[in-house]
Amino acid sequence: MKNITCIDDLRDLHMRRVPKAFFDYCDRGSYTESTLRANREDLDRIKFRQRILVDVASRSLNTTILGEPAAMPMILAPVGLTGMQHGDGEIYACRAAHEAGIPYTLSTMSICSIEDVAANVKKPFWFQLYMMKDRGFMKSLIERAIAAKCSALVLTVDLQVIGQRHADIKNGMTVPPQLKLRTLYDFATKPAWVSGVLRGKRKTFGNLAGQMAGTEDLTSLSEWISTQFDPSLSWKDIEWIRNIWPGKMVIKGILDIVDAREAVRTGAEALVVSNHGGRQLDGAPSSISVLPEIVQELGSQIEIMFDGGIRTGQDILRALAFGAKSCMIGRAYVHGLGAGGQAGVAKAIDILAKELSTTMGLCGINRVEDIDRRILVDYRNNL
Q: How far is the CB of 310 from ligand FNR (least distance, A)?
A: 5
Assess whether 335 carries a catalytic annotation: no
Is 331 a binder of ligand FNR (CB under 6 A)? yes
Angle between helices 181-188 and 20-27 (to 10 degrees): 100
Q: Amino acid letter at 61?
A: L
Integer Cα distance of 340 and 336 in angstroms: 6
One residue of 128, 207, 312, 326 binding ligand FNR per CB under 6 A: 128
Is 78 a binder of ligand FNR (CB under 6 A)? yes
**Candidates 14, 86, 276, 335; catalytic one:** 276
Integer Cα distance of 312 and 3 in angstroms: 17
Q: How far is the CB of 366 from ligand FNR (least distance, A)?
A: 26
Q: Tell which positions 84-113 bind ligand FNR, by CB under 6 A.
A: 107, 109
Q: How far is the CB of 26 from ligand FNR (least distance, A)?
A: 4
In sequence order, what are the beta bridge partners of 340?
A: none
Q: Amino acid letter at 48?
A: F
Q: Is 330 annotated as a binding residue?
A: yes
Closest CA to 305 of 280, 322, 328: 328
Distance of CA 361 to the CA centre of its chain: 27
Identity of the residue, 196 or 309, whose beta carbon is nearer to ligand FNR in the bound complex: 309
Q: Is 359 annotated as a binding residue?
A: no
Closest CA to 103 of 79, 81, 71: 71
Integer Cα distance of 292 and 205 in angstroms: 37
Instruction: Give the DSSP H/E element, type plus range, for residue 16.
Output: helix 7-17
Taking the CB of residue 160, how many other CB atoms lie within 10 A of it?
Answer: 15
Q: How far is the CB of 81 from ligand FNR (least distance, A)?
A: 7
Q: Is 265 annotated as a binding residue?
A: no
One residue of 20, 86, 95, 252 binding ligand FNR per CB under 6 A: 252
Q: How many residues interact with ligand FNR (rule CB under 6 A)? A: 25
One residue of 63, 183, 274, 359 binding ligand FNR per CB under 6 A: 274
Q: Is 309 annotated as a binding residue?
A: yes
Taking the CB of residue 189, how many other CB atoms lie within 10 A of it?
Answer: 9
Q: Tell which positions 173-232 bind ligand FNR, by CB under 6 A.
A: none
Q: How far is the CB of 175 from ligand FNR (least distance, A)?
A: 15
120-153 per-residue burial string, b: 16 or more CB within 10 A, e: under 16: ebeebbbbbbbbbeeeeebeebbebbbebebbbb
Residues contributing to the site for ligand FNR (CB under 6 A): 25-26, 39, 77-80, 107, 109, 128, 156, 252, 274, 276-277, 279, 307-310, 328-332
Where is the binding site for FMN, in residues? 78-80, 107, 128, 130, 156, 252, 274, 307-311, 330-331
Residues making up the binding site for glyoxylate? 25, 165, 276, 279
In the annotated binding site, the residues are: 25, 78-80, 107, 128, 130, 156, 165, 252, 274, 276, 279, 307-311, 330-331
